[in-house]
Structure 1
Amino acid sequence: MLCDVAMDANGNGKRDPLHGGPVYFNRRAASNDESNRTTDLEFVYDDTDIHANEVAELYSYTEQYELQLNLKAFEDQMEWYKLRPWWQNLTKSQQRSVIYKLLDQLEVSNKQLRMKSARCILYLAQGCWAEVQSDKEQQDWTRTNVMLLYEAGIFPAFVELLNIEIENSTTATSAIRKLAVSLADSIDLRVILSVLYIITEVMREELKNIEHSEYKDNVEAFKEDLVNPYGEELLIVKLLGMVTCFCSGSAPHFPMKKVLLLLWKLILVSLGGIDALRELKKQYREEAGLDTQQEDTIEVARMMRASSPPMSAADLLETQNQKRNNRPFRRSLMKQSSLDDPGLGMEYEGGEPPNNTTANEGDGELIVFLGPGGPGGWNQTYYEDQNNQSQLRPGTPQLIKGKGLPWTPKVRQKDVDTFLEVARMKFVGYKLQGDRESLAGLPQPIHEGVTTLKKHMYTSLAETQIRKEEEIARNPMSTLEPPLRQTPTEILYQAILPNLPQYMIALLKILLAAAPTSKAKTDSINILADVLPEEMPMTVLQSMKLGIDVNRHKEIIVKAVSAILLLLLKHFKLNHVYQFEFMSQHLVFANCIPLVLKFLNQNIIAYIEVKNVIPILDFPMCVIGDQPELTTESLEIGHSQSFSWRNVFSCINLLRILNKLTKWKHSRIMMLVVFKSAPILKRTLKVRHAMMQLYVLKLLKMQTKYLGRQWRKTNMKTISVIYAKVRHRLNDDWAYGNDLEARPWDFQVEECELRTCVDQFNNRRYSSIPRDEEMEPIDASVTSVLGANVELTEEFKQHYELWLQQEVFQRSINWDELLDPTACEI
């Protein structure tokens, strides 16, 4: 459903005869616009790409030669065991025997023998690719071998190897002294991380069909292991520590791409992805007594169609000239290019827009937008008067019929309270603090408006949690603290809480270094240490290959970091809103908002269509069968898809993060305005993908009132798409209110209050600082006080008889006075 300006036969804007303002009406999109459909991206948003691509992205093209080292280590080891180097011909018992021997070898003091054993295990985890004939066969053997390795205890053994390499100060010192760190500096770490990643990725893939999996016990045990410390800390915390050390410069040789990919998959397996979040949200809302029948944003967005991007100024002038010269009024309107889903199209019952759409007086702009009709349906009119004040008028007669909008409109309890307060002051002249039911003295339309608002009122889980925290803060002694639920998210939050600010800064530093809009600086961190070879390429072909590899490397890092941040934000918000707010504030303090805008401030179409991939060099294609000769032509082929999955995925993740950080936060919305995000976001609308456009439109909607009336006049088509695609808040004046004088510091009080609430929450639940004894309840029971164990000092024990003589025998006690409560001195 779109709102367009009505035009007369001469191409001029049609004026409302009653008010003089332009008339907006809903226009129907052409349902047979096949040209628009064919240009939509066939991208399906999910937790990850397909399993084969996720494994292939673990390896850089410059690492290809190391695959042969794994095979050579395996053949040598099998010869040492006096066995044929043919894994498939061994029985299960022989295979297990070999794995246990390799596991024993991992514990020897000789590092060369340890790493030789590690390479053998990596070859097994890679599916014994020298013995297979197809990708499918290699994946099957990877799955089988990974389960054998996990059952033998390889995963914790490699975590211990990782600890040894992290603490290897010799390697770190050598890397710091080098002018250029290369692949050779991280060779052992990359072997260890690769084994850990492959096991995790296979378990994640198995988790998707766990109910029908023969390895169900292994997968569940693996998930349980991840929320328990390996040694002193969680593996996720250990990897975050590696990221921090890398960014601080104390460990420049850490292979960041592999670290981040492993970190992402560990979070995904232990906490859960899209489906797990949906189920957790339903469970938590049900426990809180809230409605669970709500649309899922991702599911609804998958069913939506993309909108055509707003036309440029030149195209707009040309289109208007064509309308003026060739088309009558009504026909010109119905044939405009579609901006929305044809299924959402609306039309007037009488064929022409009625002139009596409202009975309001005064000069202003009128816009009518309607939702589903019939019982329980809603419709409303906004009217913007001369003072730029918008009013909600629920219950407007149904003027337009059609399918309606993709979302059920919502309203918050706070908005209902505000509506009642304004109505009472206007019609009655007084307030009723805390009264949400009394409507005495209010006219019938207000009654209908309150009924409509309450029918669509939505209480979020976050509001319930905040109310509980406010109650605890008001009555700390009488309000019981709810027991901590030891969920995987809660365990992870407690583990990363002490160093969470440093983790967020480190992740954003890496994201900045990997962004295509970032310029190379001599003092920036080197995220290419695990992709650059020791010897730089000498030929044009080698240079082209390395260039593609470097760009691919950066894209994978952006994909991993964006997924990590989004997953943590989503899970923390479900677990407790103040955990989410704590992480959000530190992201904002670390300049996450301008960083994401900087990332989006590029040619997004070119970014999502770029093909930084060489299919014949992807694992396992690069080692199975006869290898074709690498030529300049083969480097330019790329995949058959018209877009890069990982780049579209990264863009959507970053837009979702930006939405999470700014929703309902006025100071952060003002940051979007100050950093001039509107033109950047408008360019992003050129990507023909409904979900990406939805998150862009949400960001534009929240800042529209700060952009001014002139911006709205010149961006009416964007406003129309927002009406069609974004959920309506029934009494939100986003499209009509003007707040041009607002500045970021005007809303800093909100941030300070939020910071205070978050600090109180963290100190109360997780701080080891002892509480104020004066605020603690007093134990007045004689039995418990006399029965308490008192630790006596050695000095007191030595002089016990002297204490009895001075304090007991020589001191007279008036028991009557002691027992008289009125005689006690306070």
Structure 2
Amino acid sequence: MFCALVVLLDGFATSPELFGVISLSLIPSAGMARGDSPNFPDFVRNGWALRAPRSHRSLSLSPAVFVVLWGPPRALGVLQWLPAAQPQTQEVGWSCLGNVGAAAGMFLVPIPGKPALDLQEDEGYSESPDLEFEYADTDKWTAELSELYSYTEGPEFLLNRKCFEEDFRIHSTFGECSSEAEVQAWMRYNIFLLLEVGTFNALVELLNMEIDNSAACSSAVRKPAISLADSTDLRVLLNIMYLIVETVRQEAEGDKPEWKSMRQTFRAELGAPLYNNEPFSVMLFGMVTKFCSGHAPHFPMKKVLLLLWKTVLCTLGGFEELQSMKAEKREVLGLPPLPEDSIQVIRSMRAASPPASASDLIEQQQKRGRREHKALIKQDNLDAFNERDPYKADDSREEEEENDDDNSLEGETFPLERDEVMPPPTQHPPSDRITCPKGLPWAPKVREKDIEMFLESSRSKFIGYTLGSDTNTVVGLPRPIHESIRTLKLHKYTSIAEVQVHMEEEYLRSPLSGGEEEVEQVPAEILYQGLLPSLPQYMIALLKILLAAAPTSKAKTDSINILADVLPEEMPTTVLQSMKLGVDVNRHKEIIVKAISAVLLLLLKHFKLNHIYQFEYMAQHLVFANCIPLILKFFNQNIMSYITAKNSISVLDYPYCVVHELPELTAESLEAGDNNQFCWRNLFSCINLLRILNKLTKWKHSRTMMLVVFKSAPILKRALKVKQAMMQLYVLKLLKVQTKYLGRQWRKSNMKTMSAIYQKVRHRLNDDWAYGNDLDARPWDFQAEECALRASIERFNARRYDRAHGNPDFVPVDNCLQSVLGQRVELPEEFQVNYDLWLEREVFSRPISWEELLQ
């Protein structure tokens, strides 16, 4: 993109209405061919005019009163300065203009045929770095271990060595190690040794005793301020259990062969209902609800949530394992394989790179030279040109947006810009060509419902009647419609959820002839059965803690205290101690957000794979608990500041702090933080929350309307400033589902966002998401849609899990007289006491005709 810097030289510089205008349209005279790159003499000689958008009046400036500088916007700091007194052809040097925005009478003007650029957008965009972030189930092993401990717990490591031998052993007897690698190796060995002798089961029993310790709970309730000292025993137990789960969960080079079998056994036991006839995860969920209800305010909630996350991850599996399970289940159900591996596609996507520096742009412009203008090109020549252009699908967008007034007027803050000046294809090395996409990253998908709606509208238009759900009869339809139907069926995608819904309808339609459903007892099914009785309470508790940990939340008297396991007994007395505690508190909240977002996303994805109605049940209770506005509130902050926050002190992280001598901390070192470009856990949390929001709103018109009502579009657009491809993808997905409800003016003024959606998000053929004419989105049906879904979920839960309250007509009956009379019946004690009375009233006082009865 090229812009002109217009410097007003006389009275126009004092015109107040011009100062607020940054993006202006520049109109050439008839002598200038459209698409040409004007040099300075042509630019002045042809008499250009400045036109301000909207209410600003048009005014014509003669060449005598302004100087025009032609070049890319990034070169504003180093521009060719041409004083008005000098001849136009004179060679001059370079001059730094400094802060151009503050110079009176200077305006950045986009040239027609090139995308417009808002100066403020450009400035903000240059500050957002390209984040080298790889999304995974967890962070590095050492980072996950270090997040278990608050910095306030640092002095307790030596105390653990003296007093808590179990905790000391689990930390690899670090007093005898000289390096972090040695600590990690011995720690892994000791953990498998403890697992072999059955330590984990003993720890679970101890944890159960601590949960039921009413004396500790009542004491904590009475205390006005909870500190680390109130949860010492619980923290030691949770530390050991977390280290065991996190270490055993993942394989490592050099593991012994017997450790692999121990890992499989441990995973099976952890997910089985062996602890009080329920999985271990359900016990941890019970701790969360007990904490949120106020009965146990001393529970170290960060450690509980981290252990819960790693337990769910260990028993159910991570995202890659989930993808393989999904492929296997599709094969079992007879469905075609997935069109692509979504994990690999997302990892290969790249975030939009910021424009190059001024010197790079000028150098590229000189290499590029001035292209010859071609007014007309024959179609066959154009096709041949496109075939030999390896970037035709990615970067040939200059001509598409020529003379687009919407682009020049929108002035939107949108960071997904490409390099405005691209070198010719020959300048790129072969490696760059391979990575440059030649098409859309996703294969398009079509639902059966989309084909039915297309056929229904076509039949009613051309024939005048419809055939319901018949998608095969095309009699009477024009041949182009036949081609369209073939294309739609070619990209038809049947999801596992659609098959499960159809099977559930069959079970309800024919409960006797359908037979008994065989429910495979996989870990996700066992966990759902354990969570089902109290799942709404669990979801409310997790969202309460997430609200308390969100950076946008304000302290309230009735909110829960999540800092019980980070605040010391004695509050800091010096500035350095206060700064250290402040970093620790912020880090503590970030880790809680990370754990809750990961738990919710894992449960949603695994329940959706296991059965769609399990997923819908959990999702509906998240929506009822105001999860959607809570996530939007979380993103209604300076998201770049949150992602680049440096709330960590590397020298205090485990295991560094137990091997090396700690240097003296200063206020400067605490302010500096680490050297990382971004905070892994915060970016991980943001992506998880966006994925949860996508899960909740996908194909749900009523929930999509919630996004519109809560004005999520500007909040989500601000999140696009984060230069990470995966995060940008899920933000664009959320914007795509609500574009049809945002109105024509929003779509008109956000064309770059619409283009990015088209480029990065999967296409649904026949889905006119970019327009407002959605036939399937009638506001009066929204409530009925949610009610119908809720009724289907209740029928599913009652049929599969509520055996005691099933339909009495379908309960089997014993018709054998001998077995019925031979059953031993336990009579109530009240009945036995009043047996004589019962005999007198019910038997002796009533005449019975035994002859009729026996006949």
Give the TM-score, by structure 1 length: 0.76
The C-alpha deviation readout for 1:200-248, integer Å capped at 9, x for no partner, is 0101122x77998541111011111112222343211111001001111
Does the C-alpha gap of structure 1 residues 71 and 673 become closer, same or farther in structure 2, counting only changes over 3 Å?
same
- The aligned counterpart of 2:542 is 507
- The aligned counterpart of 1:365 is none
Displacement of 1:283 after TM fit? 1.0
- The aligned counterpart of 1:422 is 457
C-alpha distance in structure 2 between counterparts of 1:300 and 1:191, whole Å: 42
Does the C-alpha gap of structure 1 residues 417 and 777 become closer, same or farther in structure 2, counting only changes over 3 Å?
farther
Preserved contact between residue 704 and residue 734 of structure 1 (Cα < 8 Å): yes
Work out whether 1:663 is the aligned partner of 2:724: no
Which one scores higher on RCO, CA 8 angstroms, separation ≥ 6? 1
Preserved contact between residue 172 and residue 250 of structure 1 (Cα < 8 Å): yes
The C-alpha deviation readout for 1:661-685, integer Å capped at 9, x for no partner, is 0000000000000000000000000
- The aligned counterpart of 1:55 is 145
- The aligned counterpart of 1:533 is 568
- The aligned counterpart of 2:394 is 345
Preserved contact between residue 582 and residue 758 of structure 1 (Cα < 8 Å): yes
Work out whether 1:215 is the aligned partner of 2:250: no
- The aligned counterpart of 1:66 is 156
Task: Read off the aligned partner of 1:221 and give its amino acid letter.
Answer: T
Superposed, 1:257-276 pairs within 5 Å as 257-276=302-321
C-alpha distance in structure 2 between counterparts of 1:425 and 1:184, whole Å: 74
Does the C-alpha gap of structure 1 residues 471 and 634 become closer, same or farther in structure 2, counting only changes over 3 Å?
same
Does the C-alpha gap of structure 1 residues 811 and 591 become closer, same or farther in structure 2, counting only changes over 3 Å?
closer
- The aligned counterpart of 1:41 is 131
Task: Read off the aligned partner of 1:161 and give its amino acid letter.
Answer: L
Does the C-alpha gap of structure 1 residues 328 and 748 become closer, same or farther in structure 2, counting only changes over 3 Å?
farther
Displacement of 1:420 after TM fit? 0.7
C-alpha distance in structure 2 between counterparts of 1:730 and 1:745, whole Å: 26
Partner SS for 2:659: coil
The C-alpha deviation readout for 1:631-690, integer Å capped at 9, x for no partner, is 223223322210000000000000000000000000000000000000000000000000
C-alpha distance in structure 2 between counterparts of 1:162 and 1:10, whole Å: 81
Task: Read off the aligned partner of 2:627 and give its amino acid letter.
Answer: C
Partner SS for 1:636: helix
Does the C-alpha gap of structure 1 residues 441 and 181 become closer, same or farther in structure 2, counting only changes over 3 Å?
same
Displacement of 1:621 after TM fit? 1.1
Does the C-alpha gap of structure 1 residues 7 and 732 become closer, same or farther in structure 2, counting only changes over 3 Å?
farther
Of the candidates 222, 237, 241, which is equivalent to residue 196 of structure 1?
241
Superposed, 1:740-819 pairs within 5 Å as 746-775=781-810, 785=816, 788-791=819-822, 810=851
- The aligned counterpart of 1:374 is none
Task: Read off the aligned partner of 1:51 and give its amino acid letter.
Answer: W
Preserved contact between residue 126 and residue 354 of structure 2 (Cα < 8 Å): no
Preserved contact between residue 614 and residue 637 of structure 1 (Cα < 8 Å): no
Does the C-alpha gap of structure 1 residues 295 and 539 become closer, same or farther in structure 2, counting only changes over 3 Å?
same
Work out whether 1:283 is the aligned partner of 2:334: no
Displacement of 1:71 after TM fit? 1.2
Of the candidates 282, 286, 292, which is equivalent to residue 241 of structure 1?
286
- The aligned counterpart of 1:226 is 270
Preserved contact between residue 155 and residue 196 of structure 1 (Cα < 8 Å): yes
- The aligned counterpart of 1:672 is 707
The C-alpha deviation readout for 1:313-354, integer Å capped at 9, x for no partner, is xxxxxxxxxxxxxx99989xxxxxxxxx97841649xx9779
Preserved contact between residue 768 and residue 774 of structure 2 (Cα < 8 Å): no
Work out whether 1:619 is the aligned partner of 2:668: no
C-alpha distance in structure 2 between counterparts of 1:269 and 1:411, whole Å: 35
- The aligned counterpart of 2:214 is 169
Work out whether 1:603 is the aligned partner of 2:638: yes
C-alpha distance in structure 2 between counterparts of 1:147 and 1:354, whole Å: 62
Does the C-alpha gap of structure 1 residues 740 and 756 become closer, same or farther in structure 2, counting only changes over 3 Å?
closer
- The aligned counterpart of 2:301 is 256
Does the C-alpha gap of structure 1 residues 427 and 212 become closer, same or farther in structure 2, counting only changes over 3 Å?
farther
Does the C-alpha gap of structure 1 residues 666 and 602 become closer, same or farther in structure 2, counting only changes over 3 Å?
same
Does the C-alpha gap of structure 1 residues 747 and 640 become closer, same or farther in structure 2, counting only changes over 3 Å?
same
Preserved contact between residue 113 and residue 399 of structure 2 (Cα < 8 Å): no
C-alpha distance in structure 1 between counterparts of 2:777 and 2:526, whole Å: 41
Structure 2, unmatched stretches of 5+, are 1-24, 35-111, 116-124, 356-369, 375-389, 403-435
Task: Read off the aligned partner of 1:345 and give its amino acid letter.
Answer: D
Task: Read off the aligned partner of 1:151 and give its amino acid letter.
Answer: E
C-alpha distance in structure 1 between counterparts of 2:302 and 2:155, whole Å: 18
Moved more, 598-607 or 428-437: 428-437
C-alpha distance in structure 2 between counterparts of 1:490 and 1:704, whole Å: 37
- The aligned counterpart of 1:824 is none
Task: Read off the aligned partner of 2:585 and give its amino acid letter.
Answer: V
Task: Read off the aligned partner of 1:216 and give its amino acid letter.
Answer: K
Work out whether 1:560 is the aligned partner of 2:595: yes
Moved more, 221-230 or 272-281: 221-230
Superposed, 1:112-123 pairs within 5 Å as 119-123=164-168
Task: Read off the aligned partner of 1:220 and give its amino acid letter.
Answer: Q
Does the C-alpha gap of structure 1 residues 239 and 353 become closer, same or farther in structure 2, counting only changes over 3 Å?
closer
- The aligned counterpart of 1:361 is none
Task: Read off the aligned partner of 2:672 and give its amino acid letter.
Answer: I
Of the candidates 507, 519, 523, which is equivalent to residue 558 of structure 2?
523
Superposed, 1:617-696 pairs within 5 Å as 617-696=652-731
The C-alpha deviation readout for 1:29-53, integer Å capped at 9, x for no partner, is xxxxxx9999321000000000000
- The aligned counterpart of 2:345 is 300
Task: Read off the aligned partner of 1:203 and give its amino acid letter.
Answer: V
C-alpha distance in structure 2 between counterparts of 1:53 and 1:492, whole Å: 28
Does the C-alpha gap of structure 1 residues 448 and 66 become closer, same or farther in structure 2, counting only changes over 3 Å?
same
Displacement of 1:169 after TM fit? 1.2
Preserved contact between residue 308 and residue 686 of structure 1 (Cα < 8 Å): no
Does the C-alpha gap of structure 1 residues 412 and 403 become closer, same or farther in structure 2, counting only changes over 3 Å?
same
Displacement of 1:167 after TM fit? 1.1
Partner SS for 1:623: helix
Preserved contact between residue 706 and residue 738 of structure 1 (Cα < 8 Å): no
Task: Read off the aligned partner of 1:441 and give its amino acid letter.
Answer: G
Partner SS for 2:732: helix
Does the C-alpha gap of structure 1 residues 276 and 354 become closer, same or farther in structure 2, counting only changes over 3 Å?
closer
Structure 1, unmatched stretches of 5+, are 1-5, 15-23, 28-34, 74-118, 311-326, 332-340, 356-400, 815-826
- The aligned counterpart of 2:202 is 157
The C-alpha deviation readout for 1:375-421, integer Å capped at 9, x for no partner, is xxxxxxxxxxxxxxxxxxxxxxxxxx982110111110000011111
Partner SS for 2:327: helix
Task: Read off the aligned partner of 1:218 and give its amino acid letter.
Answer: M
Moved more, 161-170 or 508-517: 161-170
The C-alpha deviation readout for 1:270-307, integer Å capped at 9, x for no partner, is 00001210111011111111111322322211111113
C-alpha RMSD of the superposition? 3.6
Does the C-alpha gap of structure 1 residues 182 and 38 become closer, same or farther in structure 2, counting only changes over 3 Å?
closer
- The aligned counterpart of 1:322 is none
Does the C-alpha gap of structure 1 residues 540 and 260 become closer, same or farther in structure 2, counting only changes over 3 Å?
same
Give the TM-score, by structure 2 length: 0.73
Does the C-alpha gap of structure 1 residues 26 and 268 become closer, same or farther in structure 2, counting only changes over 3 Å?
farther
Work out whether 1:732 is the aligned partner of 2:801: no
Work out whether 1:721 is the aligned partner of 2:765: no
Preserved contact between residue 7 and residue 329 of structure 1 (Cα < 8 Å): no
Does the C-alpha gap of structure 1 residues 741 and 405 become closer, same or farther in structure 2, counting only changes over 3 Å?
closer
Superposed, 1:75-474 pairs within 5 Å as 119-206=164-251, 213-228=257-272, 229-307=274-352, 344-345=393-394, 347=396, 403-474=438-509
Preserved contact between residue 707 and residue 740 of structure 1 (Cα < 8 Å): no
Displacement of 1:770 after TM fit? 3.7
Does the C-alpha gap of structure 1 residues 347 and 547 become closer, same or farther in structure 2, counting only changes over 3 Å?
closer
